[in-house]
Amino acid sequence: MSRARRLPEPTRPLPPAAPAGNGAHPTLTLVQGNEACARGALAAGCRFFAGYPISPSSEIAELMARELPGCGGVFLQMEDEMASLGAVLGASLGGARAMTATSGPGFSLMQEHLGYASLAEIPCVVVDVMRGGPSTGLPTLPAQGDVMQAQWGSHGDRAAVVLAPGGVAEMLELTRVAFELAERLRTPVVVLADEVIAHMREGMRLPDASQAPPPPRPGPAQPPGPAFAPYRPNAAGVAELPAFGRGYRFHVTGLMHDERGRPTSDPVVAAALLDRLERKVAPAVDLVPADTYRLADARVVLVAYGITARIARAAVDALRDQGVPAGLWRPRLLWPVPEQAMAQALAGAELVVVAEMNRGQWAREVDRVLGPGVPSAPCLKAGGSVITAEELTQHVLGARARTVAP
């Protein structure tokens, strides 16, 4: 098998994101969420970015435009979001770790490409910094209204992988994880951030800039040749992706296809393919475990992600101060829904409160997993402002008074 040509490696260390921390915290740097995302991508070996300006995600593109040319990468500003993700998919098939970043309206335009990337199994990372919607909506006020779009925005039964960072440091960390998952599972991965996380600045430790990025794709175990089947899954159900130009002749299509990549309308083959695509992303639930806060002895469990989870921590503390045994379960992976972990973590809760900045998109998933046996009282707020800790605390107290026997 032909040796993979190595991706360009950084030829210079990344400059510090901002002036170094003060004497009290010499190792901390003040970083904006969007900047952390871009630095996570660079650390993960992302060397291709194609994007289109849209608030509140534009800083990611701006930083990539500054950094990529200096480390052997490519930044392209495209004519719209469809072209952006199209270029990313082409770059990924061409052998680069590639990403784009956008916000709700642009994410809507990318949906057909996301479905294509899922079916054609093209690894890539799409960052969606959510703002209020639908439509042009509320630029640039915070929301968490793209949760369902991230899973179901494209037509058909798509097996989505969607991460939800809960802070600036996690913007960096989960962007790295997104590239890892995209490569390992050979699928598009969405980082679903929100406007507050993206624009917030926090002190964090930046990764060692001298660290080499991960090696390029190993390529498939099968040798090139007439018997090569680009969509034949390995033991994990993942078909390993060769890059164009490495001796492999293969066919990429948005049509249903067999293991050779040849279009088919055979219902049995198509159903088996959809089934495999769903099964292959299942391991993501173990790779990105949820975070918890004061959950061990909690009887009232808050479920929140993104900035809402940060607020929920304060609400948990306030509730504990008032004698309510509250805790937080914070999923970092929204799709596929970590059903088992959720059921375990929330078993025995006398009240579950999902807090999110939408009209109950993920709360319905929680209700579906827990079933009618667990009292549930979602705290929902859409319209462009965060749920405050006070609002959430009062909501929980009210719901508890109604649902939990004294």
Partner 1 sequence: MTSPPSADPPASREGVKFYQVGSFAAGNRLLDPALRTVQADERRANSLTSGHRACQGCGEALGARYTLDAVMRATGGQMVAVNATGCLEVFSTPFPETSWRVPWLHSLFGNAPAVATGVAAALRAQGRTDVRVVAQAGDGGTVDIGFGCLSGMFERNDDVLFVCYDNEAYMNTGVQRSSATPPAARTATTEAVGPQPGNPFGQGKNLPLLAIAHDIPYVATATVADLHDLEAKVERAMAVRGARYLHVLVPCPLGWGSAPRDTVRLARLAKETGLFPVLEAEHGEVVRVSRIRHRQPVEEYLRPQGRYAHLFTASGAPARPDLIGGLQRIADRNVRRFGLLDGGDDEDQGRGSGDRAPAGADPAGASPRSPTGAG
* Footprint on this chain of partner 1 (rule: CB under 8 A): 52-55, 58, 61-62, 65-66, 69, 75, 77, 79-81, 105, 135-136
* Residue 72 to residue 14: CA distance in whole angstroms: 12
Q: Helix or strand or coil: residue 363? A: helix
Q: Tell me how far, at minimum, the Cβ of 51 lies from partner 1, in Å.
A: 8
Cβ distance to partner 1 smaller for residue 54 or 96: 54
What does DSSP assign to residue 337? Answer: -
Q: Which is nearer to partner 1, 136 or 211 (CB)?
A: 136
Alpha helix ranges (H) inside 229-295: 267-281, 284-287
In angstroms, give the least distance from the CB of 108 to partner 1.
9
Write down the H helix ranges in 68-110.
Answer: 81-93, 104-109
Cβ atoms of 49 and 64 within 8 Å: the answer is: yes
Q: Please choose, from the candidates 184, 162, 182, 158, the residue with its C-alpha nearest in 3D space to the C-alpha of residue 254.
A: 158
Distance of alpha carbon 384 from alpha carbon 131, whole angstroms: 8
- Counting beta carbons within 10 angstroms of the beta carbon of residue 294, is it exposed (0 to 12), middle (13 to 18) or buried (19 or more)? middle
In angstroms, rounded to a whole number, what is the distance separating the alpha carbons of residues 386 and 394?
15
Nearest to partner 1 of 62, 259 (CB atom): 62
The closest of 388, 390, 395, 367 to 300, measured between CA atoms, is: 395
What's the closest the beta carbon of residue 281 comes to partner 1, in angstroms?
31
Residue 290 CB contacts under 8 Å (≥ 6 apart), including other chains: 329, 330, 331, 332, 333, 338, 341, 342, 345
Taking alpha carbons only, the member of 273, 31, 283 closest to residue 180 is 283
CB of 79 to partner 1, least distance (A): 4
Shortest distance in whole angstroms from residue 80 CB to partner 1:
4
Tell me the backbone φ, ψ of residue 342, rounded to 5 degrees. -65, -45
Q: Which residue, 22 or 136, has its beta carbon nearer to partner 1? A: 136
CB nearer to partner 1: pick between 222 and 385: 385
Query: What's the closest the beta carbon of residue 353 comes to partner 1, in angstroms?
Result: 34
The nearest distance, CB 185 to partner 1, in angstroms, is 31
Q: Which is nearer to partner 1, 223 or 383 (CB)?
A: 383
Whichever of 39 and 395 has its CB closer to partner 1, that residue is 39
